[in-house]
Amino acid sequence: MWDFFIKNNRFAYLFLTALIGVGLYSISSIPRESSPEVVIPIGVVSTVLPGAPAADVESLVTNEIERGLSSLENVKEITSTSRESVSSVIIEFDESADLDKSILDLKDKVDAIKPDLPSDANDPFVSEVNFVDQPILTVAISADLSDLELTDLTSQLEKEIESVTGVSKVEINGVRDREVTVIVDQKSLLRYNLSLLDITQAIRNANLTFPIGQIINEGVSYNIAFDGDITDTSEIADIPISSLGGQPVYVSDIAKVEDALAPASSLSRLSVNGDPSQNSATIDVYKQVGGDITAITKAVNKRVEELKKVDGLLFGITTVPVIDSGDMINKDLLRLGGSGLQTVLLVVILLVFAIGWREGLLAGTAIPLSFMIGFIGLYFSGNTINFLSLFSLILGIGILVDSAIVMVEGINRKMKDNVHINKKEAAIQAIAEFKLPLISGTLTTVSMFVGLFIVSGVTGQFIASIPFTLIFLLFASLFVSLAILPLLASNFLHRRNTTQFEIKQLEYARKLESWYKRHLELYLHDKTKQQKFQALIISLLVFSIFLAINVFAGALAGPFTYLITLKSLQTQDKRSWPNWKRKIIWFPQFILVIVISSLISSTILPSARIVEVVFFEQSDSDYLIVEIEEPEGTTKDVTDISVRRVEEFLYSIPEIDSYSVTVGSGSQWGNGGTGEKFANIFINLDLDRKRTSTDIVTELRKQFSTLKDIDVTIDQPSDGPPTGAPILVKFLGDNLTDLTNLANQTAELFKEQSQTINVRTSTNNNSTEFVLELDKDKAAAVGVSPFLVSQLARTAIYGSDATSITTLVDDIDVVVKLNVSNDNLPTTDTVNRTSINALGDITVPSQVGPVPLSSLVNVSLRESSSVINHQDGKRVVSVEADVIEGANAREVQALLLAEIESNINLPDGVIISTGGGESDESNKAFMEMFLALIVGVGLMVCVLTLQFNSYLHMRYVLSILPYSLIGIFFGLAITGSTLSFPSMMGFIALSGIVVNNSILLIDMMNKLRKEDPSRSIDEVITITAASRLRPILLTTITTVFGMIPLTYAGDLWAPLAYAVMFGLIFSVFITLLLIPITYLNKPGEVRN
């Protein structure tokens, strides 16, 4: 089958040409993105209850909705947030659920709940959360313009950007929308005996257009419509409200009409090159579904630059790209692409020196050809090119070339050993000899990567492109090695006079083989040396297992592991156990000292933090995020003063290129939060800086700590999957006061720990509010309803939307407000700046005439919570914290939980939870990685048993797996790397690689025994060892060299590269001695 291409070479070259063409098309067409798409199935039910405080929203809306959704199927968790006027219920469905069907079921449930909601509540709105729908480009613009001029500028710029191909929408932040405000004078209301509701209704009725019907005139049907639209804002003042003495009363008679801008909900500023920040606006650009991020951002940036030319819309305007996903993707691809090119060059140069320039280049062709096929698979399977899939391609370079080396070296050896064989026959014989071990080796490697699909949740989605890419790549390399390379070798390899370089090359290779055979024979014929070698590697294995278990489970697991290992030594070979006991007596320094030292060292090393455990390594970032949170009730102007104090520290950091400030909301890349008490600063760092982002964060964190009266946090984006806070503790119960006290006590414990930073609670939203309690008897006596009073009070303070004027440019809201304080020059920004006494003076229309509000209500003060959170129907408060650089979040959280248990008494009915944080996600991911390892090994057992038809030989191959742990831990300790999720992936990848060498050895030993059963086992082993030494060393060296560029391609993936490099180096030396010794002692039966 595999020799089909050699026998039909003309068709084969046509096929190869087509394959390259489709591969190039796939490379050019495959979408590019920065990170893998992470989809979390979430639905949101949003309901507005105008004017209601958080407590009323919770009891009247949120609780009703949560009860109605209790029977909804495929639900993982229900959380909710009740805040003033708004209820948001968030439903997270199971990952296996059909999201479209689940959303439809959710809508049906919500429709059934509607009759139970308050009559004045708006209909609930069901939406689906799409984490992919994020801005791909954020541009900040700054200029010396008035608010109105800035609004007009951004409005025009919005249309310019929306015209760019691939842009779905543009959102403008930091500008004030145009608004018509009708500011009503209280004295005029009394004079004309009118109410605020009369004015609102009059304006609403004056702006109506609706169809009336049809008439038939002389056999022709005509539609009739009523057109009462307001077409210009100047018409508002002339709208009649009522009449007095036969004369109409117009809006202008009782109110000031202001065509200006709405009150600012947020403030934005921009600083460039250390200059003081200036007022600015930010523009968020979103892409269409399926759009190429790099192409769209490039087109938008080009359009912005065109508009900055003389006489252009942005001429003289400062623009700074705050976030440019296209640029980030290009940088990631360029950096990793450069690493990939370096890897290819290193591997090819190594092969040229090791096996000759023709053979080296021929084996090197496996890399681009395998990539072509791999890209075809990625493209047609709907995958994308992101930094993870590109990393996988680079990781695969060192792995995929192994099969090519074995095949090319085998063809070359057959041509040199038999001068009469032709090239095609040599290629066909090499295919026959190596196809089974290569197929088996590929399947064992694939088996380990298949296990990674077990990892679920956010982490599973995040890393899914790694096994997906590598599996495509490995099967592609197998096809290239068995089908394409023999075809090329049969045409381009030549039997020629041996050059001086090749003579030297062959001489050194034979010297190495002779040296290996000589030393191997010493071990094969000396039981004492064999036992010493086995004792040494088992002692090292004990050390590594101790270290691994202590890292994850603590020092108590060490003695248990020691007993298990000792028992395995006793049962490994019962016949030689007396010899083992004798050797232990005679070599106490050799074994007992090593084992005892291993036990002690493995207990001490984790505590000494020689090998640290983290979820994902924090890599250097070009961006920093600062968030500021003030106490509840703080206005944006006061928050802005605090922000400017924070900015003073930023001017002293030379590495800061620019930063943008937003007052009125938290960062979408940080902890979030909305309201005037929140602010965030997004910092762009200089790309040519000397210090890392972590160094800058550390310095700024120390400086911010001097601001004792401001809650400031600073962090940097992570390359890992999106997770919760590193440290997260939640308290669930019914009594909000108890929960708040628990959260505050826990926060104090967190702050006392030296390893925690940025401690924050969800209870920083309690405030004091005025409560207007209606005297129902007095209200009934004058014929006033509670709804009328509440609506009137809200309109007086916040205003009421009367109507909206549609123009060619935009829709303009018309808002009615009351001049509560009777200012002589009221504006839309100042009408609600008043006292509670002034509010009591507003008049309420009644059956007995206008009466003051103060005569109908009792005013009191109370403490309230502006936000009430639920989880699975219970109230919940949370305490979050970050950890300092180098700290282990899982260990810190365990320590803090112990502190909570010993220092805080939980009231009855209160539950403590840690779900949703980084520690919870990492524990789950590490456990699933362990399951993935078990599944991978199980699949390998099936493949090897099928190949060898022998349980014994299968065990021999797998016996090398645990010893790679020794190299991994020593490598991580030597390089100062962490035991992270990527390094564990390195162990899984390594498990599929190291067995290939054992497969090559045992497969050839079995073949030699079948060809000549009279050969001694010693002879079989030495022949095999000599012939397989060079391909084994070459594949190992190329894989190790292939990992080198990855060690500096990014901090996130360096531990994985180190794990593969050191684990493979140590494993190959163990393999070259362990497999021959084991096979010699018990060769087993060779079966077909």
More confident residue, 539 or 341: 341
The residue written with tokens 């902890």 in the block is 671
Residue 64: the pLDDT is: 92
As a whole number of angstroms, the distance between CA 717 and CA 733 comes to: 33
Name the pLDDT band for 552 (thresholds 50, 70, 90): very low
pLDDT, position 301: 92
- Please tell me which residue, 1088 or 328, carries the higher pLDDT value: 328
137-177+264-329 against 620-718: fold identical: yes
- Cβ–Cβ under 8 Å, residues 467 and 388: no
Q: What digits encode the pLDDT tens for the residues 942-979?
A: 988 888 888 888 888 888 887 777 778 778 777 777 77
Distance CA 997, CA 402 (A): 10
pLDDT of residue 825: 65
- Which residue matches tokens 């190596």? 434
Give pLDDT, residue 571: 45
Angle, alpha carbons 394-400-403 (nearest 5°) = 160
Residue 16 CA, chain-centre distance (Å), reads 38
Residues 912 and 899: beta-carbon distance below 8 Å = no
| pLDDT category of residue 303 using cuts at 50, 70 and 90 | very high
Q: What percent of the chain has pLDDT over 70?
A: 84
* Tens digit of each residue's pLDDT (9 = 90 or more) over 77-98: 898 988 878 899 999 888 777 8
User: Helix, strand or coil for residue 104?
Assistant: helix
Q: Is 444 helix (H, G, I), strand (E, B) or coil?
A: helix
Query: pLDDT-derived band of residue 832, with 50, 70 and 90 as boundaries?
Result: low
* Coil, helix or strand at residue 451: helix
CA gap 1000, 1017 in Å, rounded: 16
pLDDT of residue 646: 92
pLDDT attached to residue 645: 92
SS3 292: coil
Q: Which amino acid is at 1058?
A: Y
Find the mean pLDDT for residues 787-810: 79
pLDDT for the residue numbered 541:
65
Kindly write down the DSSP assignment for every residue of 9-60, as one continuous string. HHHHHHHHHHHHHHHHHHHHHS-B-SS------EEEEEEE-TT--HHHHIII
Q: 140: which 2 tokens?
A: 């900040």
125 touches 77 (CB < 8 A): no
pLDDT tens column, 148-179: 888 888 888 998 999 998 888 898 888 888 88
For the domain with range 178-210+241-261+768-865, which CATH number is right: 3.30.2090.10, 3.60.110.10, 3.40.50.300, 3.40.190.10?
3.30.2090.10
Confidence of residue 574 (pLDDT cuts 50, 70, 90): very low
The C-alpha atoms of residue 84 and residue 55 are separated, in whole angstroms, by 8
Pairwise CA distance, residues 387 & 383, whole Å = 12
Helix (H, G, I), strand (E, B) or coil at 814: strand
CA distance 912 to 918: 16
d(CA 408, CA 1034): 12
User: 384 to each of 37, 377, 450, how far by Cα in Å?
Assistant: 9, 11, 19
Task: Give me the chain's average pLDDT, please.
Answer: 79
Residue 362: is it exposed, middle or buried by C-beta count within 10 angstroms (0-12/13-18/19+)? buried
| pLDDT value of residue 581 | 39
Over range 426-437, report the average pLDDT: 85
Mean pLDDT of the region 92-119: 87
Average pLDDT over residues 204-226: 85
Mean pLDDT, range 735-744, rounded to an integer: 86
Q: For 67-71, 553-557, 649-653, 806-810, which range has the lowest pLDDT when averaged over its residues?
A: 553-557
Residue 604 has pLDDT above 60, yes or no: no
Taking the C-alpha atoms of residue 436 and residue 442, their distance in angstroms, rounded to an integer, is 10
Residue 587 has pLDDT above 50, yes or no: no
pLDDT at residue 599 tops 60 = no
* CB burial of residue 10 (10 Å; 0-12, 13-18, 19+): exposed
Q: Which residue has the higher pLDDT, 655 or 736?
A: 655
pLDDT tens-digit readout, 1004-1050 = 888 888 888 888 888 888 888 888 888 788 878 888 887 887 777 66
467-471 average pLDDT score = 86
pLDDT of residue 622: 84
User: Alpha helices, DSSP H only, in 887-980?
Assistant: 889-903, 918-948, 951-958, 964-975
* Crossing angle of the two packed helices 981-1011 and 951-958, in degrees rounded to 10: 140
pLDDT of residue 299: 92
The number of CA neighbours under 13 Å toward the Cβ of 948 is 28
User: If you ran DSSP here, which 8-state letter would residue 308 be given?
Assistant: T
Q: State the pLDDT at residue 548.
A: 57
Q: In degrees, to the nearest 5, what angle opens at C-alpha 926 toward C-alphas 476 and 922?
A: 115
Q: How confident is the model at residue 723 (pLDDT cuts 50, 70, 90)?
A: low
Average of pLDDT values for 14-30?
88
CB 64 within 8 A of CB 113: yes
Question: In 905-919, which positions are buried (b, 16+ CB within 10 angstroms) versus exposed (e)?
Answer: eeeeebebbbebbbb
Residue 65 pLDDT grade (very low, low, confident, very high; cuts 50, 70, 90)? very high
Greater confidence (61 vs 187) lies with 61
Q: Is the dihedral of CA 688, 691, 696, 699 positive or negative?
A: negative
Which own/partner pairs from 359-362 qualify as long-range (CB within 8 Å, at least 24 positions apart)? Answer: 359/408, 359/409, 359/412, 359/493, 362/404, 362/408, 362/485, 362/488, 362/489, 362/492, 362/493
| Tokens at 911, concatenated | 């539950």
The reply to whether the predicted model has a pTM over 0.75 is: no
pLDDT in tens, 370-394: 888 888 888 888 777 877 777 777 7
Residue 1000, SS3?
helix
User: How would residue 561 be classed by pLDDT, with cut points 50, 70 and 90?
Assistant: very low
Q: Which residues contact 986 (CB under 8 A, 6 or more apart)?
A: 968, 1055, 1056, 1057, 1058, 1059, 1060, 1063
- As a CATH number, domain 42-128 is 3.30.70.1430
pLDDT for 639 beyond 80: yes
Give the residue-averaged pLDDT of 837-857: 82
pLDDT of residue 435 exceeding 80, the answer is yes
Q: Mean per-residue pLDDT for 38-45?
A: 81
Q: Identify the band that residue 61 occupies on the pLDDT scale cut at 50, 70 and 90.
A: very high
Contacts of 778 (CB under 8 A, 6+ apart): 855, 856
pLDDT digits (tens, 9 = 90+) for 656-665: 998 988 888 7
* pLDDT at residue 762, as a whole number: 77
Instruction: Answer yes or no: is pLDDT of 809 > 90.
Output: no
| CB of 1072 closer than 8 Å to CB of 1028 | no
Q: To which CATH superfamily is domain 620-718 assigned?
A: Multidrug efflux transporter AcrB pore domain (3.30.70.1430)
Asked if pLDDT for residue 600 goes beyond 80, the answer is no
Task: Tell me what pLDDT residue 597 has.
Answer: 52
* Mean pLDDT, residues 297-317 taken together: 89
CATH class name, domain 137-177+264-329: alpha beta
Residue 556: pLDDT above 90? no
Beta bridge partners of 656: 685
DSSP letters spanning 596-627:
HHHHHHHHHHHHTTSS-B-SSPPPP-SEEEEE
Helices of type H across 38-172? 54-57, 63-68, 99-113, 147-162
Q: How many CB atoms lie within 10 A of CB 308?
A: 15
pLDDT, average across residues 350-368: 78
Predicted pLDDT of residue 288: 80
For residues 874 and 315, give the distance between their C-alpha atoms in angstroms, rounded to a whole number. Answer: 55
Mean of pLDDT values over 3-9: 80
721 — pLDDT class (breaks 50, 70, 90):
low
pLDDT band at residue 45 using 50, 70 and 90 as cut-offs = very high
Domain range annotation of the chain: 42-128, 137-177+264-329, 178-210+241-261+768-865, 620-718
CA–CA gap between residue 116 and residue 106 (Å, rounded): 16
CB 896 within 8 A of CB 919: no
Find out whether 430 and 407 touch, Cβ atoms under 8 Å: yes
